[in-house]
Amino acid sequence: MGSRTPLYDKHVAANARIVDFGGWDMPLHYGSQKEEHHAVRQHAGVFDVSHMTIVDLSGARVREFLQYLVANDVTKLKDHGKALYTCMLNADGGVIDDLIVYLMSDTDYRLIVNAATREKDLAWIRKQAADFDVAVVERDELGMLAVQGPKARELAAGCIDARYRDAALALKPFTGLQAGDTFIARTGYTGEDGWEICVPAVDAPGVWDCLLAAGVVPCGLGARDTLRLEAAMNLYGADMDESVSPLEAGLNWTVAWEPADRNFIGRKALEAQRAKADNRRFVGLLLEDRGVLRNHQKVVVDGFGEGEITSGGFSPTIDRSIALARLPAGDYDRAKVDVRGKLLNVRIVKTPFVRNGEVRIDTVGEKQ
């Protein structure tokens, strides 16, 4: 038996197919992954993301510490509640994890890191924090729910403390709000609008029941993966890991090069890599032939070499197979993928594939 979130019994009651995910017993789906996927694109769905790790940092030098710890620059966060997506790098520029940083107060930040990397992340953060007198507190007494979809905020509003309802509905994207002992942020991992809600574990089942009663559809990790793939949001461990820098994972935009004198872990290695001309491309692929692209399939680019699919799957919204891939440097827009011994045609497309319920890539004029 793996670790269980405060919502485990709710998943079982909703007929979830439970699978192991990084040591956690998590719902894969509750019947149909595709229907859950469509519910988030068209209506509203809720995911139990309580397995994710919440870490609160505090101390007089906490900002200075985070400017050293992560590749993005937390001084971009001006207002309390604002969020920043960033990578935490090792000295070689490899990605230890990707995370969201919230500015809670002038001396407090909240980090949300991946579940599968929890132990190494905490060890790394604590090791680096020692020189800055920063307190590192894991908030494992909190549960977390992600309510996502065009109707998500409207339906979830009835499930939060009425005193904070208007303020929560007024939150701008990538901003959060402490509402009593609940933290509500307008963030997510699906490419749709919505909230991520951190609540004390004991309150999580009540919020879950309220959301379902409001018509929000319970969604499992399966739909979470196809939604984030359509939104071209990276998955740690698939699209990047400690052997890959953000520059080869499509995450250049998360690296803050200015101010030039900010010394963050991995900066020297990244600067050396940035100066090179042969960095691998990180791209979106649309399969033109029939079939399904999967992680680790080989991509062949005539005249340029080979690469690999880092995340591949079927897109329920586009009704085609899509993928993220790391490919050789060069100017080209087509490639072939070795799918079970057959070379199938793919086209390189600008990501995201889907955002806010709409297909963003050009699929016109091709047959499937």
Partner 1 sequence: MSELPGDLLYTRDHEWLRREDDGSVTIGITDHAQHALGDLVYVELPEVGQVVSEAGEMAVVESVKAASDVYAPISGEIVEVNDELADDPEKINSDPYGDGWIVRMEPSDGIDEDALLSPDDYQEFIDELDD
Say what angle helices 62-69 and 118-129 make with each other, to 10 degrees. 120
At 216 the three-state DSSP class reads coil
Contact predicate 45/149, CB 8 Å: yes
Residue selected from 76, 120, 127, 290 as contacting partner 1 according to rule CB under 8 A: 290
Residue selected from 43, 139, 294, 298 as contacting partner 1 according to rule CB under 8 A: 294
Stretch that binds partner 1, among 69-77, 89-97, 178-186, 287-295 (CB under 8 A): 287-295
What minimum distance in Å lies between the beta carbon of 33 and partner 1?
A: 5
Stretch that binds partner 1, among 32-40, 134-142, 206-214, 246-254 (CB under 8 A): 32-40
Residue number, 35 or 241, with CB nearest to partner 1: 35
Query: Omega before 205 cis (within 30°)?
Result: no
For residue 218, which of 44, 84, 88, 350 has the smallest C-alpha distance? 44
For residue 266, which of 129, 114, 69 has the smallest C-alpha distance? 69
Residue number, 72 or 226, with CB nearest to partner 1: 226
Using rule CB under 8 A, residue 34 touches partner 1? yes
Tokens for 347? 């086209």
Using rule CB under 8 A, residue 32 touches partner 1? yes
DSSP 82: B
What minimum distance in Å lies between the beta carbon of 230 and partner 1?
A: 12
Scan for tokens 């009593």, then name that residue.
180
- CB-based contacts of 282: which residues, under 8 Å, 6+ apart? 239, 248, 249, 250, 310, 324, 325, 326, 327
What minimum distance in Å lies between the beta carbon of 184 and partner 1?
A: 30
Could you give the string, one character per residue 176-215, with x where binding to partner 1 holds by CB under 8 A and - elsewhere? ----------------------------------------
DSSP 117: T
Using rule CB under 8 A, residue 150 touches partner 1? no
> 225 — phi, psi (to 5°)?
-70, -40
Residue number, 102 or 314, with CB nearest to partner 1: 314
Q: What is the CA radius of gyration of the chain?
A: 21
Tokens for 167? 């303020």
What minimum distance in Å lies between the beta carbon of 27 and partner 1?
A: 12
Using rule CB under 8 A, residue 172 touches partner 1? no
Subset of residues 212 to 231 that bind partner 1, contact rule: CB under 8 A: 222, 226
Binding positions for partner 1, rule: CB under 8 A:
17, 28-29, 32-34, 222, 226, 290-292, 294, 313-314, 316, 321, 340
